[in-house]
Structure 1
């Protein structure tokens, strides 16, 4: 879908007179009917809190004027419009426009304090979650872009995974329960396994498969392998991910 409105989710968190509109577009590594890794983060958070929202896709090759003028002059996605109910392509002037996936996750954590994004009554745990997300963003996502988009060695991804793994607990999710860390990391980590296994990337042919074999077999990656398996099995993520369809588009 180049431009679509998804069915609304029934919400257990009532926000009178306000409307959530997620604006995004599929990128290189995704399907037209599913979000990029950045928009995927926001979809995971919205679905976890059972928010009622509408998604409207933006063509980044032909950005509409209303998006640049009313939502995000930088032109990046995802972006969230929060305000009075309106047509997806005609946001209300009273609406708040919020770009950047991690900023949106923080906003949703405030909007839905008991929704499971951040622990509601534990400032220390909230700080730990934010520190892990900050580390992941500054180390792993940089390595991800370098390998898959810029053609640098997948070894950068493996090294970044080991750094992130060292910050995880011995088992389970980062803070015990699924939350912001997993919403931030899962879209990147699950794609990493898929892309390496099928040697998709701008690095030399064969380098991805070689890195995937190391991830799959070497003991030093045991913890992060289990972490990714647990995330893939989590209901909110499982309902948002269709690897077979993604691979059919990439093939």
Structure 2
């Protein structure tokens, strides 16, 4: 499908619980903050069935999923947060989701891919939870070590980017790379993982975004509890 006019598109973003779904948060905050029009479709996690009802809109039974409809063309469903950010960036180039400079864009995509395919210690031990009380976890030495290594690498990325761009976001303006690291802000804060200056500056910028505040407000109102994510 060649790039259509954005006004001819209908986008539907399927997501799950805003309190927990870090992968849903990533494309949602990018599209919302950038003013990209879409319809939100939220369904609850159902751990007991392995989220079987997600098959109705997602061939992987995972969220998020983006349905792209265009009159006269085949409806396409895109799964995986990073792929969704890429297709939205292509469909809405005026949103400037990736840096304009070729080398900056390559670095941003590399750091996004690192987030997408790594940091398993942090992600496994510290699930996103917008409602969680701020307190450290009592982890076994192996798990704690993995989390510390992840935190150190993430702060290295943030420092490199913010030192070069001057902030407030990783490559100056808010973009897809910031959306990929948005749930990490919640994890660092809620599990008391860092008191560094780079985290403090970046957290302040991210949490000041209207899209962040809109998501968090909705998350805090959700009544559903997913015990698996209540670390």
TM-score range normalised by the length of the shorter chain: 0.7 to 0.9
Distance 1:248 1:193 in 2: 22
Who is 2:149 aligned against? 159
Work out whether residues 147 and 156 of structure 1, in 8 Å CA contact, stay in contact via their aligned partners in 2: no
**Residues 136 and 51 (structure 1 numbering): CA distance in 2 closer, same or farther, change over 3 Å?**
same
Structure 1 residues 160 and 225, CA gap change in structure 2 (3 angstroms):
farther
Superposed CA deviations along residues 29-48 of structure 1, whole A, max 9, x for unmatched, are 53xxxxx1111111112112
Cα 1:96/1:244, change in 2 over 3 Å:
closer
Structure-to-structure mapping, 1:55-70, within 5 angstroms: 55-61=40-46, 63-64=52-53, 68=55
Distance across 1 between alignment mates of 2:62 and 2:34: 24
CA distance in 1, matches of 2:218, 2:126: 17
In structure 2, list runs of 5 or more residues that go unmatched.
Answer: 128-138
User: 2:112 & 2:154 partners in 1: Cα distance?
Assistant: 10
Structure 1 residues 162 and 187, CA gap change in structure 2 (3 angstroms): same
Deviations 1:135-159 (A, max 9, x none): 233333x12232136x763443332
Corresponding position of 1:43: 28
Q: Which consecutive unaligned segments of at least 5 residues does structure 1 have? A: 1-12, 31-35, 86-91, 197-211
Higher relative contact order (CA 8 A, sep 6+): 2
2:17/2:219 contact within 8 Å kept: no
Residue 248 to residue 23, structure 1, CA distance change in 2 (3 Å)? closer
Shift of residue 226, structure 1, vs aligned partner: 1.9
TM-score normalized by structure 2?
0.73
The number of equivalent residue pairs is 200
TM norm structure 1? 0.68
Contact 1:190–1:232 (CA under 8 A) maintained in structure 2: no
Q: Distance in 2 between matches of 1:25 and 1:93?
A: 28
**In the aligned structure 2, how far is the partner of 1:161 from the partner of 1:134?**
16
The alignment status of 1:95 with 2:89, answered yes or no, reads no
| Residue of structure 2 in register with 1:10 after alignment | none
Question: How far does residue 59 in structure 1 lie from its aligned partner after superposition?
Answer: 4.5
The answer to whether the Cα contact below 8 Å between 1:105 and 1:180 also exists between their aligned partners in 2 is: yes
Considering only aligned residues, what root-mean-square deviation do their CA atoms show, in Å? Answer: 3.1
CA distance in 2, matches of 1:235, 1:16: 24
After superposition, residues 129-208 of structure 1 pair within 5 angstroms as: 129-140=108-119, 142-148=120-126, 153-168=143-158, 169-170=162-163, 171-172=166-167, 173-194=169-190, 196=191
| Aligned counterpart, 1:206 | none
By percentage of residues, which structure has more helix? 2
Against the structure 1 CA distance between its residues 229 and 83, is the aligned structure 2 distance closer, same or farther, given a 3 Å change threshold? same
Shift in Å, 1:21: 0.6
